[in-house]
């Protein structure tokens, strides 16, 4: 049976928030805005995670998200999203004019407690409050969708394996609490392809593929293999991070999020449409590499696309 790939997938660019927040060098507000505007100029990204509304003392890199949202050039139908940690953050995000709210809850109790000082049940309570705030009549109408990222969905650095049933029950609870969709996130790069295929198949039955996102890291080299396994299992929405920026505090020195342009490159090669201009993404990644002042993990930005041709040399090339 050939691998199953869909005709079209939707790409969510998380670099400006998830990627930048862990970079050693903090970008200026103007550079963040320039990054987001360059990204939105590359075509049909479904969403751009443009900032977060969490405590600035905990994530100082994102303290200027309000200004970022004010200054970016909106290009519909791209939706600009912001991460929130609680209902106070959601109020700030709604004031800033986010198109969608991102909220995160871990499938591992230990991880959730360490990350947000709440149990999973308390996080679900918080989610209900956020959904209520974002509902018509409360927030600027129309309703602002709240998407829930289920972190450590493929394993937890404290607890180890996270049973698929627990992830699925949490996804169900999030949808019942009013989440517009759920994203299964491999927060510390523990996912592997057969696991991904199985969980995606089950989650898709639960949520339906339009309401199911996948978020992979390349921490152990299997990022695009996991994307492939998810595609084969029916997934059509993927997070990526320009240049592969970001990472995880649990694996210092390892690469971070799946690189958007490497993912788009693989998808296009397989004939999967994204609506995105790959060369524009690659240019943006190279520009960002200059700003961040470190070599980024993206590969296509170095090698060029597979369509790149070389002139036939006079001399025999060196050792190939």
Say how far apart CA 248 and CA 54 lie, in whole Å: 18
- Taking only Cα atoms into account, the Rg of the chain, rounded to an integer number of angstroms, comes to 19
Residues 69-128 that bind a second copy (CB under 8 A): 110, 114-115, 117
Query: Which residues is 184 bridged to in the sheet?
Result: 150, 214
Q: Which of residues 227-246 bind a second copy (CB under 8 A)?
A: 227-229, 232
Q: Which stretch binds a second copy (CB under 8 A): 29-37, 63-71, 172-180, 192-200?
A: 192-200
Question: Smallest distance from the beta carbon of 162 to a second copy, in angstroms?
Answer: 12
CB nearer to a second copy: give 139 or 232.
Answer: 232
List the structure tokens of 71.
């200054």
Burial class (CB in 10 A: 0-12, 13-18, 19+), 249: exposed
Applying CB under 8 A, the span of 28-36, 64-72, 166-174, 299-307 interacting with a second copy comes to: 299-307
Residues 129 and 58: their CA atoms lie apart, in Å, by 22
Quote the least distance from Cβ 115 to a second copy, whole Å: 6
List 81's β-bridge partners, or say none. Answer: 49, 100
- Per CB under 8 A, does 223 bind a second copy? yes
Q: Collect all residues with Cβ–Cβ distance below 8 Å to 110 and sequence separation of at least 6.
A: 156, 158, 159
Does position 63 interact with a second copy (CB under 8 A)? The reply is no
Angle at 161 between CA 177 and CA 165, to 5 degrees: 40
* Nearest approach, Cβ of residue 5 and a second copy (Å): 6
CB of 63 to a second copy, least distance (A): 12
Residue with tokens 């198949």: 201
- Segment lying near a second copy (by CB under 8 A), choices 40-48, 121-129, 131-139, 307-315: 307-315
> Half-sphere exposure (CA, 13 Å, Cβ side) for 64?
15
58 binds a second copy (CB under 8 A): yes
Q: Which is nearer to a second copy, 206 or 251 (CB)?
A: 251
Q: Does 265 bind a second copy (CB under 8 A)?
A: yes
Among 266, 277, 283, 291, binds a second copy (CB under 8 A): 266
CA distances from 27 to 60, 192, 241, 261 (A): 11, 33, 16, 21
Q: Give CA–CA dist 274/5, Å, rounded.
A: 12
Does residue 12 contact residue 46 with C-beta atoms inside 8 Å?
A: yes
Candidates 187, 241, 274, 284: give the one binding a second copy (CB under 8 A): 187
Q: What binding mask, one character per residue, do residues 6-45 give for a second copy by CB under 8 A, x or -? A: ---------------xx-----------------------
Q: Which of 15, 51, 89, 157 binds a second copy (CB under 8 A)?
A: 157
The active-site residue, picked from 42, 156, 248, 259, is 248
Catalytic-residue membership of 280: no
Site for a second copy, residues 276 to 295, rule: CB under 8 A? none
Part of the chain binding a second copy (CB under 8 A), chosen from 89-97, 123-131, 191-199, 284-292: 191-199
**Contacting a second copy within 245-264 (CB under 8 A):** 248-251, 253-255, 259, 262-263
By CB under 8 A, residue 65 contacts a second copy: no
**Which residues have C-beta within 8 Å of that of residue 21, sequence separation ≥ 6?**
52, 59, 61, 62, 246
Closest-CA residue to 21 (of 290, 247, 220): 247
Closest distance of CB 123 from a second copy, Å: 14
List residues with catalytic annotation. 248
């Amino acid at each position: 049976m050939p691998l199953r790939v869909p005709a079209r997938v939707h790409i969510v660019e998380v670099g400006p928030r998830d990627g930048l927040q862990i970079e050693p060098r903090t970008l200026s507000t103007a550079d963040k805005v320039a990054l987001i505007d360059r990204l939105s100029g590359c075509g049909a990204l479904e969403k751009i995670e443009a900032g977060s509304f969490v405590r600035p003392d905990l994530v100082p890199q994102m303290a200027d998200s309000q200004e970022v949202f004010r200054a970016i050039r909106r290009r519909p139908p791209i939706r600009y999203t912001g991460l929130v940690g609680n209902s106070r953050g959601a109020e700030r995000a709604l004031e800033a004019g986010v198109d969608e709210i991102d909220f995160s809850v871990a499938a591992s109790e230990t991880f959730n407690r360490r990350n947000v000082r709440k149990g999973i049940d308390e996080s679900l309570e918080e989610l209900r409050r956020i959904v209520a705030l974002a509902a018509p009549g409360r927030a600027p109408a129309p309703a602002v969708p709240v998407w829930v990222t289920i972190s450590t969905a493929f394993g937890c650095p404290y607890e180890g394996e996270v049973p698929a049933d627990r992830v699925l029950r949490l996804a169900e609870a999030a949808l019942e609490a009013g989440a517009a969709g759920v994203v299964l996130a491999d927060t510390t790069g523990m996912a592997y392809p057969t696991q991904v295929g199985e969980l995606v198949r089950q989650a898709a039955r639960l949520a339906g593929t339009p309401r199911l996102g996948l978020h992979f890291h390349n921490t152990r080299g299997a990022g695009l293999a996991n994307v492939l396994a998810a595609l084969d299992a029916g997934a059509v929405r993927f997070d990526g991070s320009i240049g592969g920026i970001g990472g995880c505090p649990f694996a210092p020195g390892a690469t971070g999020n799946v690189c958007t342009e490497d993912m788009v490159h693989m998808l296009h090669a397989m004939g999967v449409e994204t609506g995105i201009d790959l060369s524009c993404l690659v240019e943006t990644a190279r520009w960002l590499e200059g700003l961040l002042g470190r070599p980024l993990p993206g590969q296509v930005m170095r090698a060029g696309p597979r369509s790149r041709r070389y002139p036939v040399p006079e001399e025999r090339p060196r050792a190939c």
